[in-house]
Amino acid sequence: MKKTTRLIVIIAVLGLVALTIFKLASNKKEVTERVYHANINAKALVQVDTVKESSFGASTTFLGTFSPSREVSIASETSGKVITVGIKEGSQVVAGTLIAHLNDAVLQAQFSSAKANLANAATTLKRYNAAPTGVTQLQMDNAHTQVLTNQAQIEQLQRQIDQYTIKAPFAGVITARNFDLGAIVSPGTTLATLIDIATLKLEISVPEKYVMQFKKDMSLNVKTDVYPNTIFKGAVDYISSNADASHNYTVKVLVTNTVQSPLRAGMYGNVIVGSSALQNAISIPRSALLGSSQKPQVYVAQNGVAKLRDIEIGASNETDVQVTNGLKVNDIVITGGLVNLTGGTKIDVK
């Protein structure tokens, strides 16, 4: 009887295990069927254009990126606990605006004591000077020394106290705040980042055959796609003395920001320089351009596949960009549908 019961239990357990395995396998198959699998043979729809030679207009345009004219990381010179927070991210500040105040209670007590000691020393010295009879020269010298010592101590304490109040060194915008009320900071701790965008710096890369058109402090017109009907005034601040490996020179243009059409760091800008028309310049539509002005790239359609290619650019206008290296006439560049592309993506032209 016991053997029969044991056999029944074993058979039941084995049956339960088999049922569980079957159920898990069924669930795995069902989940696998429901999971989305990208179709590796699917093609991305794109728009393309053919690289061509063209003539640019009577002015040459150089593409660049705006950056702050000044940028600084504001750090603490001493250690302490933050008891006052004076700014937040995005705050517009002027020179001297409070960034943070650290707990300086101990120093303030020492400062008050030092002022009291100075007052006593000054009183003693004044009394000695008023009635010198009976006062030795040593007492007079000691009293004078005590006054000077207390004055020096007060000046030193004031310098230390000043370090507990961190202020903005110039007017600008707070782009990062790295502390909160109650935080313990130490010397060198970066509390905030401050940028000056009242004047912006536009850095462009100029091929050697155009660089002689630029002179220090010369006035230039600057345009942006953000404000297509606005012309900003700029002035050449820097022209590099050495060319890079591609024989391009870095030119920095200072551009005055405006309240009516405020510019931001990171925006593209076009520096317009008067010149004769460029003949037979290889160009592509601006919509094909990827990356930055320092490292431009394009997708080239080749054998039904999108291939990412590094290029070098020169002048530009409202619609096209000159390519000085990396492309040749009749190459096919992708101008639309770029968001879905990576190098090697199969494509289908609309």
* CA atoms of 274 and 3, how far apart (whole Å): 105
Of residues 261, 269, 273, 289, the one with CA closest to residue 224:
269
Burial class (CB in 10 A: 0-12, 13-18, 19+), 172: buried
* CA atoms of 297 and 34, how far apart (whole Å): 38
Per-residue pLDDT of the chain (350 residues; tens, 9 = 90+): 555 666 666 676 666 666 666 666 666 655 555 554 545 567 888 889 999 887 765 467 899 999 999 999 999 999 999 999 999 999 999 999 999 999 999 999 999 999 999 999 999 888 888 877 778 889 888 989 999 999 999 999 999 999 999 999 999 999 999 999 999 999 999 999 999 999 999 999 999 888 988 999 999 999 999 999 999 999 999 999 999 988 899 999 999 999 899 999 999 999 988 755 566 788 888 889 888 777 899 999 988 899 999 999 877 766 788 888 999 999 999 999 888 788 888 888 87
* DSSP conformation class of 216: T
* Topology adopted by domain 72-192: OB fold (Dihydrolipoamide Acetyltransferase, E2P) (2.40.50)
Name the β-bridge partners of 54.
281
Domain boundary assignment for the chain: 40-57+278-350, 72-192
Of residues 243, 253, 245, 252, the one with CA closest to residue 209:
243
Just give the CATH number of 40-57+278-350: 2.40.420.20
Q: What is the DSSP string of 241-258?
A: SS--TTSEEEEEEEEE--
- Do domains 40-57+278-350 and 72-192 share one topology? The answer is no
* CA atoms of 329 and 322, how far apart (whole Å): 12
